[in-house]
Structure formats: structure tokens, C-alpha cells
Amino acid sequence: MTTALVVRIDNNVVGRLWLDERKNFCFSYDSTWLERFRIPLSLSLPLRTEPYLDDQSHSFFANLLPEEKMRTLIARNLGVSFNNDYGLLERIGGDCAGAVSLHPETEETLPQSASYRALSLDELNTIIKELPQRPLLAGEKGLRLSLAGAQKKLPIYYDGQQYHLGYGTAPSNYIIKPAIDDLPGTVENEAYCMALARAVGLNVPPSFIHQHEDLQVFVVKRFDREVAGDAIRRLHQEDFCQALNVPPEFKYETEGGPSLSACFNLLRANSTSSGKDVLSLVNWVLFNYLIGNSDSHGKNISLLLLSEGPRLAPFYDLLSTRVYAPYGLAEGLAMKIGGESDPHAIRRKHWELFAEEVGIKPKLVLTRLKDLSQRIVTARLPLFKGEFEQFRCDTLYRLMELIAGQCADSIKQIA
């Protein structure tokens, strides 16, 4: 008999997750949470007293876990079966994306201690270099970190000068993403695309490249944290797969994952500032197209579930995947644009169709595409020659060319 897991949001009990006798997930909200807090764990799990069975609850929790190679390694390190979502949540669900934590019910109270251990830059390099063997430091005493995504990463506390590992309930406030093996220049690529997004007015968290000796990593500030006096508060977030009850293994539209119209409908129906958020989401679609990011699936876009209601979260995981076509990376779009999944085939008519599908005036989408292309054309080189001068590499040169081509082509299509 497995023990139930207590589900908390920022240390308040939301409910319980358990396995029934057939090993299916069951989740039930706590009565105090229903009375006092009134934030749903997920838009796919509206507040109610009856328990949710596997078909409605499993996806939300499965989407909290790391994916692919990371998952394999963590499962192996912890001695948990690869397919055992519940077992993995039990072991690493202590600090998930946003504010969610899961702890076995038998642990009477949460670990009350919160402490940080400052790391020297050499120590940080050692930890980062060990991540391929020990993703998210799984197995390290006092650490139970889980972040979705397929790539190596490390949640960290950064005070502007020094990096620290957080123990117990101590929250991280940044995420470190090391280079992806087998694909050159991913750190420079992501840092440049995020900086470009900021330069053209998209809502992205601050990010930078940290370099020490032979190691370069991408560092991004967490948008699911809020400074409250001396403390850091965790903000609840969920990705679009969670909100739409889609399991992580079906995140691509071709597999049955979220389409752009499903994302827009979700946002329109739930955001407390839907007009503004819908336009931001249009910008996200256009920007990903213009930088050649084909991997913008339903787990790479999130909502913040705040006490005031849901809002579109700032953007993350923006990097050009199409620069890696020579390395065999799939070029097909994670979500079709106007029914087309081949980015080379996108024309004006696809944007018009996209606009209709997501309930926006075609003229607005075309004007935005042209405007964003022009802003990118203006910002592209100064950024490359400015703060990215020291990080120039083959990938960035190819990226500059790809972006210039995409923008010129889009401007021409619309003229």
C-alpha cells in the first residue's frame, strides 16, 4: 500500500493525491482549501468536493516531472521504475515548477528548515558538470526538485553575486540551463533569443550567460517567484498541457496535444485580462516563427494562477530549433499555423487562416507580423554586436541569417 501524497501550494495544503487499488491516480481537494483559498490546482481540476479520478487528475501531476533522458536517469538513480509517475512524484515532488509541492502523508509536517548553502564558482561548475549523471541533483539529501522539460537544469538561488543551493523549504529564484549535448551553441542561442524577445517588447524574465572557466550556462530568473519583504513567495503556475488535461507524452499537436486554437480558447475563457493576454500569445506565435523555434508546444507556455485569477505567464524556452536542421532536429511546427506544420510553407494565407481559427481579425495578425518583423530587423544586429559580441559562435551567425531571412520574407508576404 503506497502512502498518499499531500499536495501543497506555497506550503498550504490543497489536497491529497493517492493511488486506488488498481494503481490509478485519485485527487481530492482539502475542505479548508476549498473554503479559504479558492485557487484551483489546475484549470483542468475546477474546485469541487468530490474526488477526481485518474482520467482527470493524472496528466496534471505527470506534467510536473522531467521528461525523456532526464526522467530515465532520475528513475535509475532513485531505483524507481521509468513509468511510475507516482513513485517519481513521491521522491522528487518536493519542489515543482510554480508553488506546488508533494510530500508523503507520513511525513507529519513539512521540513520546516530552510537554508541556503553558498557555492564557490568552482563548486558550481562541478555540480553542473555532474548534472548529466545526477539530473536535478536527484538523491542529494534534503533536495527533492522537479522541473519539467527534457533538458538538464538546476534550480538555484542567486542573490546577484553568489549562487546558493536551497535546502528544506528554501525556494530557488533562478534556473540554470547548461548546454545541450550534441547541439552546438544552445546557451548562446537561448540567451540571444530571450534577449531579442525582450528588446522587441515581449514579456520575458531577465536572463544572461554565466561563464566560469571552460563552462557557459544559460541563467534565467524565475517568474514564479515574488519577493515579499525578506521572503520569497512561490507563485502557482501550470503549463497549457496541464490546463488542458494533456499528458506530457502527447504534447505535440500531431500526437493529439494542444493546438493553437485550443490555447487561445483556454486563454480567452480564463485570463482575467484576456484581451491583453490574447495579443501577447499572438506575439509568442509570431516571434517563435520568426526566430525559427519549431518546438513551441503546450509545455513551453504557461499560466500563472494567482489569487486575482489566471494570467498568461512570461515566456521561456525561446530558442531557434531550426538552426539545428543540419543536425537532424525535426523542423515541423509543434502547433500548426493555419493548418500548416512545415515552417517553409507558411504564407500570408496561413496567417489569415490562423487568425480566423483563433478568433482574431486577419488584418491585426498581418500588421503585427510585419511590425514584429521590422522591430526584430532593427534590434537584431545591435544586440549581436553589443552584449553578444563576446559570445559569437557559428550557431549565432546561422541564427542571425535565419532570422533576417524569416523577417524579410514575412515583410514581403504582407506588403
CA atoms within 13 A on the CB side of 158: 19
Query: In terms of CB distance, is 40 or 149 closer to Mg ion?
Result: 149
Q: How far is the CB of 69 from ligand ADP (least distance, A)?
A: 10
The 204-243 site mask, x for binding Mg ion (CB under 5 A), equals: ----------------------------------------
Q: CB-wise, 225 or 297, nearer to Mg ion?
A: 297
Q: Is there binding between residue 190 and Mg ion (CB under 5 A)?
A: no
Q: What, of ligand ADP, Mg ion, none, does residue 223 touch, CB below 5 to 8 Å by kind?
A: ligand ADP
**Of residues 286-325, those binding Mg ion (CB under 5 A):** 300, 317
Query: If contact means CB under 5 to 8 A according to the sort of partner, which of Mg ion, ligand ADP, none does residue 353 touch?
Result: none
Whole-angstrom distance, CA of residue 158 vs CA of residue 43? 31
Of residues 10 and 239, the one with the C-beta less far from ligand ADP = 239
157-161: long-range contacts, CB 8 A cutoff, minimum separation 24:
157/116, 158/219
3-state secondary structure of 368: helix
- Among 295, 317, 342, 409, the active-site one is 295
Binding residues for ligand ADP (CB under 6 A): 97, 147-151, 175, 205, 220, 222-224, 239, 299-300, 302, 316-317
Residue 180 or 199 with smaller CB distance to Mg ion: 180
Q: Report in angstroms how near the CB of residue 210 gets to ligand ADP at its nearest.
A: 15
Q: Which of Mg ion, ligand ADP, none sits in contact with 288, Cβ below 5 to 8 A by type?
A: none
Nearest in space to 107 (alpha carbons), one of 35, 168, 46 = 168
Which residue carries 489536497 as its cell? 15
- Which residues, 6+ apart, have CB-to-CB distance to 94 below 8 Å? 101, 102, 103, 143, 144, 145, 146
C-alpha cell at 144: 527533492
Listed in sequence order, the residues at least 6 apart from 91 whose beta carbon sits closer than 8 Å to its beta carbon are 78, 80, 138, 144
336 binds, among Mg ion, ligand ADP, none (CB under 5 to 8 A by kind): none
Q: Residue 95 in contact with residue 101, Cβ under 8 Å?
A: yes
Q: Which residues are catalytic?
A: 295
**Would you tell me which residues interact with Mg ion (CB under 5 A)?**
149, 300, 317
